């Protein structure tokens, strides 16, 4: 039995207005200091107050939110008893909001013990609104939560389908002034979600169309959004929608090997998620296409117009990987870890930890080709020096 999960999604210019129709007593906005200083919390607060709600703020979210941060946020929620939790920000804020909401409803559950089976029994106290201020993670429509165990320096993937937000507000006004670097790396995250969602083991009829459309939109609009920013509102809006479409797609299928390796690089090297998964993607496609398992790269490359219908599967993967590298180059992103400033000695010193972290990541088993430990090391070596992963 399969499910397709989605919040109510309000999108396009003026989507934020939906907040002034919300019914309730009290809202807790979960966000970070950067969003506060950019003034993005103010229009949210204003509309919630116009709807008659008392508004409280928890502004301590940090990048890669820790288990402790979630415990602190849940304690604040229990203190002010909101009937709405409003996550506002990038993926870290939205993931923190989900975990804080669960901690508020289920104080008996430690944040790293939130698993996908059984019943959580949410929505006894509050519901969740997610408002993204980057066009990347798709966390406004998905349920997995990535937290960081600071003591053990590793990412912890938790979450339950019940913690899918109730309402996602995808308003392009909130991403109008994103800096170019964040536009580029979050945009490559969108592409990785779309391609892994389309080609992973759990791809399905309901997620395919969303992933395809999101991938098309990234190839068309990411270079424009990167180059012109606020001067190209159409490209901004399309990238914002593409992030949510890809979120719905991979959120109802899964991510795969580029995310396993990207999570490992993010946790060990403290580099941004989108930059890392986007950097890994063409290598993991080359590796996957070199195995025996059937892949869908040919179908995907043909749909995106990167190869003729007669190209064999591995050629399709090569053509797609080349197109992804061209796209990354066009938005000035590194194509290997060396380009990203990660030297040979530092890489050699980190390789064991990186390999162990990747092998522990749950997404590693969801691609068509499952790598051995030695193959993970080899793949990381290619990602470091820029050699194609054709083994
Ligand atoms: Zn991602």
Distances in Å between the Cα of 278 and the Cα atoms of 112, 115, 171, 275, 321 are 27, 27, 24, 5, 11
Ligand 1 centroid from CA 121, angstroms: 27
Ligand 1 centroid from CA 20, angstroms: 31
More reliable by pLDDT, 316 or 202: 202
Q: Containing H/E element for 154?
A: strand 154-158
* pLDDT exceeds 80 at position 285: yes
Question: What torsion do the CA atoms of 183, 184, 186, 190 make, to the nearest 10 degrees?
Answer: 120
Ligand 1 centroid from CA 182, angstroms: 13
- Determine the pLDDT at residue 149: 86
Ligand 1 centroid from CA 26, angstroms: 32
Ligand 1 centroid from CA 259, angstroms: 6
**Closest alpha carbon to 77 in 124, 44, 120:** 124
- Determine the pLDDT at residue 155: 78
Ligand 1 centroid from CA 301, angstroms: 21
Ligand 1 centroid from CA 321, angstroms: 17
CB 254 within 8 A of CB 201: yes
Ligand 1 centroid from CA 50, angstroms: 35
* Tokens encoding 198: 């389309």
* pLDDT exceeds 90 at position 313: no
Ligand 1 centroid from CA 156, angstroms: 14
* pLDDT exceeds 90 at position 210: yes
Q: Is 238 helix (H, G, I), strand (E, B) or coil?
A: helix
- The string of pLDDT tens digits covering residues 157-177 is 899 999 999 999 999 999 999
- The string of pLDDT tens digits covering residues 4-41 is 999 999 999 999 999 999 999 999 999 999 999 999 99
More reliable by pLDDT, 151 or 123: 123
| Beta-carbon-side half-sphere exposure of residue 222 (alpha carbons within 13 Å) | 31
* pLDDT exceeds 70 at position 311: no
The whole-angstrom separation of Cα 179 and Cα 99 is 28
**Closest alpha carbon to 277 in 300, 301, 255, 245:** 255
- Determine the pLDDT at residue 246: 98
Ligand 1 centroid from CA 192, angstroms: 7
Ligand 1 centroid from CA 171, angstroms: 20
Ligand 1 centroid from CA 132, angstroms: 14
Give 136: exposed, middle or buried? Use CB within 10 Å, 0-12, 13-18, 19+. buried
Ligand 1 centroid from CA 46, angstroms: 31
Ligand 1 centroid from CA 47, angstroms: 30
Q: Which residue has the tokens 């080609």?
A: 199
Residue 86: pLDDT band by 50, 70, 90 thresholds? Answer: very high
- Determine the pLDDT at residue 156: 85
Ligand 1 centroid from CA 201, angstroms: 17
Q: Phi and psi dihedrals of 114, rounded to 5?
A: -80, 105
Distances in Å between the Cα of 125 and the Cα atoms of 8, 72, 103, 142 are 19, 18, 11, 21
- The string of pLDDT tens digits covering residues 230-275 is 999 999 999 999 999 999 999 999 999 999 999 899 888 888 899 9
Ligand 1 centroid from CA 136, angstroms: 7
Ligand 1 centroid from CA 106, angstroms: 27
Average pLDDT of the residues of the chain: 94
Q: What's the pTM?
A: 0.96
Domains belonging to the chain, first-starting first, are 8-175 (3.40.50.1970), 180-385 (1.20.1090.10)
211-214: Cβ within 8 A, 24+ apart: 211/245, 211/246, 211/249, 211/250, 211/253, 212/300, 212/303, 212/304, 213/242, 213/245, 214/190, 214/242, 214/243, 214/245, 214/246, 214/249
Ligand 1 centroid from CA 17, angstroms: 28
Ligand 1 centroid from CA 138, angstroms: 8
Ligand 1 centroid from CA 250, angstroms: 9
Residue 312: pLDDT band by 50, 70, 90 thresholds? Answer: low
* pLDDT exceeds 80 at position 132: yes
Ligand 1 centroid from CA 263, angstroms: 9
- Determine the pLDDT at residue 308: 56
Ligand 1 centroid from CA 328, angstroms: 15
Ligand 1 centroid from CA 174, angstroms: 20
């Amino acid at each position: 039995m399969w499910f397709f999960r989605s919040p109510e999604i309000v999108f396009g210019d003026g989507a934020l207005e939906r907040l002034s129709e919300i019914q309730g007593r009290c809202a807790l906005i979960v966000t970070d200091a950067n969003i506060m200083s950019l003034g993005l919390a103010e229009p949210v607060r204003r509309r919630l107050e116009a709807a008659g709600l008392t508004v409280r703020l928890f502004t301590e979210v940090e990048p890669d939110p820790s288990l402790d941060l979630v415990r602190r946020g849940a304690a604040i929620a229990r203190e002010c008893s909101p009937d709405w939790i409003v996550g506002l920000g990038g993926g870290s804020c939205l993931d923190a909001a989900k975990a804080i909401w669960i901690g508020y409803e289920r104080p008996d559950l430690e944040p790293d013990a939130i698993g996908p089976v059984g019943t959580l029994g949410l929505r006894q106290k509050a519901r969740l609104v997610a408002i993204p201020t980057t066009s990347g993670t798709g966390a406004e429509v998905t349920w997995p939560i990535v937290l960081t165990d600071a003591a053990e320096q590793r990412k912890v993937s938790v979450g339950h389908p019940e913690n899918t937000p109730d309402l996602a507000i995808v308003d392009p006004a909130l991403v109008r002034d994103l800096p170019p670097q964040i536009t580029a790396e979050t945009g490559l995250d969108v592409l990785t979600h779309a391609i892994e969602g389309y080609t992973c083991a759990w791809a399905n009829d309901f997620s395919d169309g969303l992933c395809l459309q999101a991938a098309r939109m990234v190839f068309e609009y990411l270079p424009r959004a990167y180059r012109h920013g606020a001067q190209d509102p159409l490209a901004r809006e399309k990238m914002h929608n593409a992030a949510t479409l890809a979120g719905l797609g991979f959120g109802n299928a899964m991510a795969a090997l580029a995310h396993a390796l990207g999570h490992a690089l993010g946790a060990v090297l403290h580099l941004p998620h989108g930059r890392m998964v986007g950097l890994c993607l063409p290598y993991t496609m080359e590796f996957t296409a070199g195995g025996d398992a059937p892949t869908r790269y040919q179908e995907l490359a043909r749909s995106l117009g990167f190869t003729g219908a007669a190209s064999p599967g591995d050629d399709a993967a090569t053509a797609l990987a080349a197109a992804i590298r061209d796209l990354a180059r066009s938005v000035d992103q590194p194509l290997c870890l060396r380009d990203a400033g990660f030297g040979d000695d530092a890489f050699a010193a980190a390789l064991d930890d990186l390999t162990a972290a990747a092998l522990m990541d749950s997404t590693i088993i969801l691609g068509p080709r499952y790598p051995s430990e030695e193959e993970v090391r080899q793949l990381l070596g290619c990602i470091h020096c820029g050699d194609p992963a054709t083994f």
